[in-house]
Amino acid sequence: MISETFAIPHISTGDIFRANVKGETPLGKEAKGYMDKGELVPDSVTNRMVADRLRQPDAENGFLLDGYPRNVAQAHTLNGMLAMLDETLDTVLHFSVPDDELEARIAKRQSEEGRADDDAAVFQRRMREYRAQTEDLIPFYREVGMLVDVDAVGSIDEVQERVLTACRQASTA
């Protein structure tokens, strides 16, 4: 929805990894073991992949990053990439959802899509990775005034409206 509204590519590192796993590429083979365990793929692999993607012509007039950065080291690397491209981020969205609600959504997604890493045990591992690494990005981006908190509990329409409001404010600021 964000990608369509602002006519920018949706760059999801998880989607790119999954496409590579499916295609059995060298990158996919490298990433698969980490993904199956619910661990983060090493930064060196992930950063290189994002750097290549951001250099593609369709990202020249903006992009939506989804699932990246996942830790502070990646965020520093992203800052370097953006400086090279003479780009800046407009906003960073922080979706708040209570753990039990997340668990219910993931269980539903697993029954609908069958994603292996939505299995209950792997999901717990992903949550541990989130707490150990990703959560640090909240103060990191809040300190520079980029973070926008989005209450992500509600209907899809309600959450979409909150997201659009946040993005519109950021793109006109």
> Nearer to ligand AMP by C-beta: 63 or 169?
63
C-alpha span between 99 and 54 (Å, rounded): 32
> Nearer to ligand AMP by C-beta: 78 or 148?
78
C-alpha span between 94 and 2 (Å, rounded): 15
Token digits of residue 151: 């209450």
Judge whether 17 and 31 are in contact, CB under 8 Å.
yes
> Nearer to ligand AMP by C-beta: 17 or 63?
17
CB of 60 to ligand AMP, least distance (A): 22
Annotated binding residue 33: no
Contacts of 112 (CB under 8 A, 6+ apart): none
147: exposed, middle or buried (C-beta count within 10 Å: 0-12, 13-18, 19+)? middle
Contact positions toward ligand AMP, by CB under 6 A? Answer: 13-14, 17, 34-35, 38-41, 46, 67-68, 70, 74, 117, 126
CB atoms under 10 Å from CB of 55, counted, come to 12
Annotated binding residue 13: yes
CB of 50 to ligand AMP, least distance (A): 8
Annotated binding site for AMP: 13, 18, 39-41, 67-70, 74, 115, 126
Annotated binding site: 13, 18, 39-41, 67-70, 74, 109, 115, 126, 154
